Every structure is written in C-alpha cells, then in structure tokens.
Structure 1
Amino acid sequence: MGGFLAAIFWVYSIVDCAVQPATRHRGVPKAAWIAIVVIIPVIGGILWFTIGRRRANDSSGEIRLIAPDDDPQFLRSISKSEQDARIRRLEEELARLEDETDDGTTHDGTTPDPRP
C-alpha cells in the first residue's frame, strides 16, 4: 500500500513540475527540477513541493526590470527636445558605425571622429 501511494505521489510530482510555467520554478531551471523529481522519486517530490515550487501569488525573488522606454516615470522626466537630441545622436553614431571598416577607418580612408 505504501509503495502504491509513493508511486502516485511520484507521478503527481512529475506532472505538477512539468506543467508549471518556468516562472514558478525556484532555484534551478524547470528541466533540472523535472530531473530531480524523476531521479529521486519520493524525496525529489518532497523537495519540489517544499522549496522548488513558487506559489502563484509569491513574487519574492522575482526582479522585474523595466526598460527606460517602457517606464512612464522615466518618459515623463525627459522633455521632447531631449528625446529628439538623443535620437539624433544615436542616429549619427549608427551612421558613423555603418561607415567604418574593420580596421577603424571609413570607406574614404579617413579616421572617424571618436567624439559622440
């Protein structure tokens, strides 16, 4: 009877670990958790449920990074003229990089100005 319950728990642990999204796995990647649960039948399942599985409402350890162009606070902090000037500088730098060859000179043989 105990072996049957252990087998049921083992299968349930494998399925639960496999169907959870990767964001709900703590510590190691999803594939590693599946391997742990499969290789160490009962103990792996216990480890999965106690330390490996993050609850849906648990955001501890999760760092949410926001790119500056997606951050409304950052976008409000810069003016339209600053945005236009930054875009212009980036476009000039991109054009300069496109004109450079592998040896650091431009196609017409001159060395580009290193200042932005």
Structure 2
Amino acid sequence: MSLVIPILVLALIVGALVDIITRPEGEAKHLPKIGWILLVVFLPLIGSIVWFVVGHDYAPQREYISFGDPSRHEPKPAERGFRTTEQELADLEAEIEFHEKQARIDRLEAEIVDRRDRISD
C-alpha cells in the first residue's frame, strides 16, 4: 500500500512529460515547451500539476490522418465556410451543365473523326 502514492506521482510526472513533448508548440500556454519540461523535471509534482491545470491547452483534438490520405489536403467543412442549400443546388446545376457540355463536345469530336475517316476512305 505504501508504493501506491509514489507510483501515482511517477505516472503523473511521466504523463505530463509525454504530453508536453508530444504536443505542438502552439498548444502550450504561458511558457514555451522547454520551460514546461524544465519545470516538471526540477519540480516534478508541482510542475506536473501546474502543467495539467494551467499550461495544457484543452482545445479539441485534431483528427490525425495518415500521410498518404488524399483527404488530408481537402479543407474541412468548417474551413470552407457556411453554404446554404440554394448555393449547393446552384453548384450542382452548374456541374451538371458543365458535364452536359463536355459530353456534347465529346460527341461532336467523335462525329468529326467519323467524317474524316469517311472522307479519307
């Protein structure tokens, strides 16, 4: 029973150090990361508690995406801005119109190739 408290304190210190080291620089508040690391190393219990209470930024975690995932480079819905249903429908109509025009161009090009083939024969 006497080892429980030291083990919990050690887990708190290690957890604080791992959290500080793995966190991006911009998510450490009030001190740079090296300052927090030194605080936890030199004042282990107090430094760890202060890190989790004051220095830790509890912003929502980013979604981690693998390096090769194409969605990594696509903007998230919040980054794109708010779009109304009417705007989405207008975009869809423009896309349909574009594809219809592209299909017409493809048909006309195929027709031109057919006429050239008939003339050359």
- TM-score of the superposed pair, with normalisation by structure 2: 0.45
Q: Which has the larger radius of gyration?
A: 2
- TM-score of the superposed pair, with normalisation by structure 1: 0.47
